[in-house]
A = this chain, B = another copy of it.
Amino acid sequence: MAGSTFGTQFKITTWGESHGKGIGVVIDGCPAGLSLCEDDIQKFLNRRKPGQSRFSTPRKEDDTVQILSGIFEGKTTGTPISLVVFNENQRSRDYGDIATYYRPGHADYTFDMKYGFRDYRGGGRSSGRETIGRVAAGAVAAKILEELGISFLTYSRAIGPVSIEKTAEELLSNDTTSLKQQILSNPLYMPETEAADKAQDFLEECMAQHNSAGGIIECIITGVPAGLGEPVFEKLDANLAKAIFSIGAVKGFEIGDGFAVAASTGLQNNDAFCTQDGTVATATNHAGGILGGISNGAPIIFRAAIKPTPSIASTQQTVNKSGEEIEVSIRGRHDPIIVPRAVVVVESMAALVLADALLTNMGSKIESLLKLY
Contact = CB atoms under 8 A, between A and B. Distances in A.
B280 A114 contact: no
Given A72-B124, A77-B115, A245-B235, A274 B4 contact: no
Nearest to A123: B292
Given A4-B28, A26-B4, A325 B225 contact: no
Given A4-B26, A28-B2, A262-B160, A269 B105 contact: yes
Nearest to A31: B366
Contact of A29 (B1, B66, B235): B1
A370 B167 CA distance: 32
Given A266-B309, A270-B104, A323-B280, A5 B8 contact: no
Interface string A111-152: 101111111010011100010000000000000100110000
Given A109-B273, A238-B245, A267-B211, A261 B319 contact: no
A253 to B, nearest CB: 5
Contacts of A206: 265
A252 to B, nearest CB: 4
Contacts of A253: 241, 245, 252-254
Contact of A13 (B5, B230, B254): B5
A308 B77 contact: no
B262 A306 contact: yes
A226 B110 contact: yes
A80 B119 CA distance: 12
Given A273-B104, A280-B102, A366 B259 contact: no
- Copies of this chain, complex-wide, total 4
A62 interface: no
Interface string A233-246: 11101111111111
Contact of A272 (B104, B252, B371): B104
Contacts of A361: 1, 114
B216 A319 contact: no
Given A2-B8, A109-B291, A110-B294, A323 B278 contact: yes
Given A15-B80, A245-B238, A294-B113, A1 B266 contact: no
Closest 6 pairs between A and B when the two form their complex, measured CB to CB: A107-B292, A3-B230, A2-B29, A3-B234, A252-B254, A1-B360
20 contacts: A2-B29, A4-B28, A10-B363, A15-B70, A33-B116, A72-B118, A72-B121, A102-B273, A104-B270, A104-B273, A110-B291, A113-B294, A160-B262, A241-B245, A251-B256, A252-B258, A252-B259, A278-B323, A362-B368, A362-B369
Given A26-B26, A32-B364, A116-B367, 18 more contacts: A1-B8, A4-B79, A8-B8, A15-B68, A15-B79, A33-B367, A68-B84, A77-B118, A78-B114, A109-B296, A110-B292, A110-B294, A114-B226, A158-B263, A215-B262, A251-B257, A262-B305, A267-B316
